[in-house]
Structure 1
């Protein structure tokens, strides 16, 4: 039974979505800066993975060249930027707006796959992405009426969305040569170090935070990263980057519901309209990928 569960990439993708969806709630509860939240989320994840000796798997990887290591660095850089932009966006805009805009990552992933991987697409998929973009524009228009700060938060979420799409594209290249765990461990470590350097340069406080904040650091690392992004990285070996990024369709729906339930965030009519249009557009794009590979390599 356990083997069947672990061998299904779509089931792992679903678990990842559930785990990532709650991250926006944790971030809203925290008072620590976004750069600190992101740094501890990644470095604590690396700490949690140490008992599994991921470096022993890395040492067995003999087919990585200098170009691959460069790709590994840029994948880590864009993951760090993704967390930095997106987490900061939640300080300025609602969970609904931030998460829906973040769900546009398939748009940028598909564009990247088309130009850099020569992946084919269809008119129907292009139209579905246009619908998704239209929905997000409606959300942004509604946030203009709320405040310029909310619009700024939307812009940060968009930057985080683009950064995540680029991270996935580099991951698509790397997971064909290195296991999902090895890739995750190295990327999380490098991203965490980059964020640490960022915090040192800008003299951000690293230690003096409340017990609640430290608990949130741990929850973000375990639930949102290990059971979220790490599972996404493993799935990249068996599903296209566009399919993995399409998993974000479930994240905003769950996150918006949790924000309403736990944070008391109200949703405007334009947010509801834009969200529905965006989710419909992304839903039309999403089709399970058929593959001869049925099991996941760990």
Structure 2
């Protein structure tokens, strides 16, 4: 196996790890009884806290950004905070299957945005893979779509949250060409958390008084879906095009629905089980043929300033 193939397999493995990690997000949120904006805020602040030990190594880059970069970081962070607020709220109003399925719209929005803003090309296999994954996602939620009442509100919130995270991904693709994964994630998570903190202050939600169990859930959200999910995907934006990275959300309904079935007792039909395999096949096709113009190359490891996780040097150009 040559160096290029090894790099390719590494990216694919990390991609799968990220999908599984973000799939736990909906389960942890369902377990919590705190306001979703508080859950999201502490999820992100705790992630920043976990990243602090490495901040000294990036001290020069952290504070030497242009005005334009600060502006784009702010918009990316606000979009991420809005995504968490809207999508996490949807989980309180509908099932995991229905809430996560609308995230399948994200790669479509990102692909369109990538074409208009970055002129990223697509090919037939990418479109076929996306179509398979979207059809499978619709099948997973087919037994739970509701057209009235509380569930409809949850569906709308999930769709709006998907629009917000698509904006976050597109801005991130641009900034990751200029910034290391650590610096980008650190400031985006901080800005998102602070925007949610301001929202909580306006709403009058308490910042303290939560049971140890709630703090444990906040920490799990920081470690599993945020560090091993969102951070990892933002790192991959340097090496895989934004539409391909955003396809990860199409694997989320599969694992989230299975976890909800096992841990929350939510029902899943045989059709939905079969659709899960269909989604995974579509996701594989998309990531297999969806790197676009981003070339996968063998990248040297920078031992002096490793990212989290310790991976190829972010400073190597595509």
Bin for the TM-score computed over the shorter chain: 0.7 to 0.9
Q: 1:247 to 1:124 in 2, by over 3 A?
A: same
Please state how far the C-alpha of 1:12 moved relative to its aligned partner: 2.1
Q: 1:9 to 1:270 in 2, by over 3 A?
A: closer
Please state how far the C-alpha of 1:189 moved relative to its aligned partner: 0.7
Residue number in structure 2 paired with 1:226:
227
Give the TM-score of the pair, scaled to structure 2: 0.81
Please state how far the C-alpha of 1:103 moved relative to its aligned partner: 3.0
Residue number in structure 2 paired with 1:260:
261
Residue number in structure 1 paired with 2:182:
181
Is 1:167–2:171 an aligned residue pair? no
Q: Is the 8 A contact 2:134 2:250 kept in 1?
A: no
Query: Which range moves more in the overlay, 56-65 or 100-109?
Result: 56-65
Task: Structure 2: state its 5+ residue gaps.
Answer: 1-5, 300-311
Give the TM-score of the pair, scaled to structure 1: 0.86
The whole-number CA distance in structure 2 between the counterparts of 1:274 and 1:82 is 26
Higher-RCO chain (CA-CA 8 Å, sequence separation at least 6):
1
Q: 1:293 to 1:283 in 2, by over 3 A?
A: closer
The whole-number CA distance in structure 2 between the counterparts of 1:282 and 1:104 is 14
The whole-number CA distance in structure 2 between the counterparts of 1:282 and 1:220 is 24
Query: Which range moves more in the overlay, 153-162 or 186-195?
Result: 153-162
Please state how far the C-alpha of 1:186 moved relative to its aligned partner: 0.8
Is 1:293–2:297 an aligned residue pair? yes
Please state how far the C-alpha of 1:120 moved relative to its aligned partner: 2.0
Listed one character per residue, the Cα deviations across residues 257-287 of structure 1 (whole Å, up to 9, x for unaligned) are 1100010001357866876776666555443
Q: 1:17 to 1:279 in 2, by over 3 A?
A: closer
The whole-number CA distance in structure 2 between the counterparts of 1:12 and 1:123 is 25
Q: 1:260 to 1:292 in 2, by over 3 A?
A: closer
Q: Which of 9, 31, 34 is the equivalent residue of 1:32?
A: 34
Task: Structure 1: state its 5+ residue gaps.
Answer: none
